[in-house]
Each structure stands twice: as structure tokens, then as C-alpha cells.
Chain A
Amino acid sequence: GAGVSQTPSNKVTEKGKYVELRCDPISGHTALYWYRQSLGQGPEFLIYFQGTGAADDSGLPNDRFFAVRPEGSVSTLKIQRTERGDSAVYLCASSSLAGGYNEQFFGPGTRLTVL
């Protein structure tokens, strides 16, 4: 596609539920990133994929958060036993890393609200 797409655009869930957020990167981009943006803050890194593997998952806050990218394209961020503090906008970005340059292109985000 022309840009990074994310679905759903909005997700409202109840505390304790499981949610999945999807990211479709720019075609051909090998690197994919997830960030979380809380109100009044800049995006905060969660995890980075190079191809199918998680190259850096140091930003995942705890073991309730998990992400996959099984075929090296689409990625899913999974949150178990959601808590109210998980409410945020979840951003996905991708980059080609051509020439070693890390220019990341962001999607519109998924706004997650945990009631």
C-alpha cells in the first residue's frame, strides 16, 4: 500500500480482556516498529522487528504484551488481561533500512481505551 495502515483505528475494551492490534507496513519494508503514545507524551518504543524476528523487545512493559510478525510483513500486537493503564494510542512504523538509514514511516495509530 501507499503507507502504513493500522486496524482498528479505535478499540474500546473492558479491563481484563484480550486485544489484538494489527499493522500493515509499507510494502518491501523489512523493519517494523511498535510504539505507544500516552496523552501529552511522545511515542515510547515497544518492540522492533527485522524480518520475522524481534530484534529488540526491550520496550515491552511486561509479559502481558506480545507481538508477532510471522511472514515478515503484517504484525500483530497482542495485549492480555488489559488494564486501564494500557489506554493509549499504539503506533506502528516501518522502514526499509536501505543504506543503513533509519527513516521510519508511521501509521495513523490505534486508540485503545480500557474501561
Chain B
Amino acid sequence: AQSVSQHNHHVILSEAASLELGCNYSYGGTVNLFWYVQYPGQHLQLLLKYFSGDPLVKGIKGFEAEFIKSKFSFNLRKPSVQWSDTAEYFCAVNRMDSSYKLIFGSGTRLLVRP
């Protein structure tokens, strides 16, 4: 069965540190890729998305992600985190030959210490 893996379940960083969250998926066909964020007490919000074209995509709040097809990966990065980035981050995949459902990873909880 297809799956999405987020290997880091909990990450603790100090402000200004660099961030990289891993995401790998198990499906070999064409995919759309997403990162969603859930801030404390808020609902899921889209951070960034990849549909096609340039594999390096930029999202809101200084986040970016790189799609590496050969590695089935879509890692999320931010050069310098802020306390306000404390949240849970979810990677999601949509198979293009299937319905529009999203398959989510289990999430990574990020705590940024001031």
C-alpha cells in the first residue's frame, strides 16, 4: 500500500537554527505533493505545494521544499526558524492516477525555543 513517511516525529530547535523535515513516499507514479502546517489551536493550512515544473518550490513564511523524484522525497526546509514556527507539520501526497484523496504522513511536531 502507498504510504508517506515522516521520520522525525519531534524536533526541537532554537530560534535562528535551520530546519529540514524529511518526507518520503512509496508510490512510483506521478504525484502532487503538499506540506500542511497546524499551529496550536488552529486548523490545517497549506504551506506549499508541488504539481509540476521546478522541483524547488517556495511557500509562505519563508518555507521551501525540494522534490527529488529519484529519492521519492519532498523535504521541507527553512534557513532560520522563528518561535512562531512552533507547530505540527504534515506532508501529503496525491497520486495522479487515483482519486483526489490525500495520503498524509504522521506529522512532525516542531518546537522552537526563543
Which A residues have a C-beta under 8 Å from some C-beta of B? 31, 33, 35, 40-45, 48, 55-56, 58-59, 91, 93, 95, 97, 101-109
- Residue of A with least CB distance to B101: A45
A residues in contact with B107, CB < 8 Å: 40-42
Which 8 residue pairs are nearest across A and B when measured between Cβ atoms? A42-B104, A56-B99, A106-B44, A45-B101, A108-B43, A102-B100, A43-B104, A42-B106
Which range contains the number of B residues in contact with the other chain?
Answer: 20 to 34
Instruction: Tell me the chain B residues, 38-91 only, with Cβ under 8 Å from chain A.
Output: 42-46, 49, 51, 90
What distance in Å separates the Cβ of A94 from its nearest Cβ neighbour in chain B?
11
- Residue of B with least CB distance to A91: B44
What distance in Å separates the Cβ of A55 from its nearest Cβ neighbour in chain B?
6
Whether the pair A40, B43 counts as a contact (CB closer than 8 A) is no
What distance in Å separates the Cβ of B92 from its nearest Cβ neighbour in chain A?
8
The distance in angstroms between the C-alpha atoms of A93 and B102, with both chains bound, is 11
The distance in angstroms between the C-alpha atoms of A26 and B114, with both chains bound, is 37
The distance in angstroms between the C-alpha atoms of A103 and B57, with both chains bound, is 15
Which B residues have a C-beta under 8 Å from some C-beta of A? 4, 6, 32, 34, 36, 42-46, 49, 51, 90, 92, 94, 98-107
Whether the pair B43, A95 counts as a contact (CB closer than 8 A) is no
Q: Of the candidates A45, A55, A101, A109, which one forms a contact with B102 in the assembled complex, judged by CB atoms under 8 Å apart? A: A45
What distance in Å separates the Cβ of A1 from its nearest Cβ neighbour in chain B?
14
A residues in contact with B42, CB < 8 Å: 108
What distance in Å separates the Cβ of B114 from its nearest Cβ neighbour in chain A?
26
The distance in angstroms between the C-alpha atoms of A102 and B96, with both chains bound, is 10
What distance in Å separates the Cβ of A105 from its nearest Cβ neighbour in chain B?
7
Q: Which of A55, A56, A102 has the most C-beta atoms of chain B within 10 angstroms of its own C-beta? A: A102
The distance in angstroms between the C-alpha atoms of A106 and B34, with both chains bound, is 13
Q: Of the candidates A35, A55, A102, A105, which one forms a contact with B94 in the assembled complex, judged by CB atoms under 8 Å apart? A: A102
Whether the pair B105, A42 counts as a contact (CB closer than 8 A) is yes
What distance in Å separates the Cβ of B82 from its nearest Cβ neighbour in chain A?
23
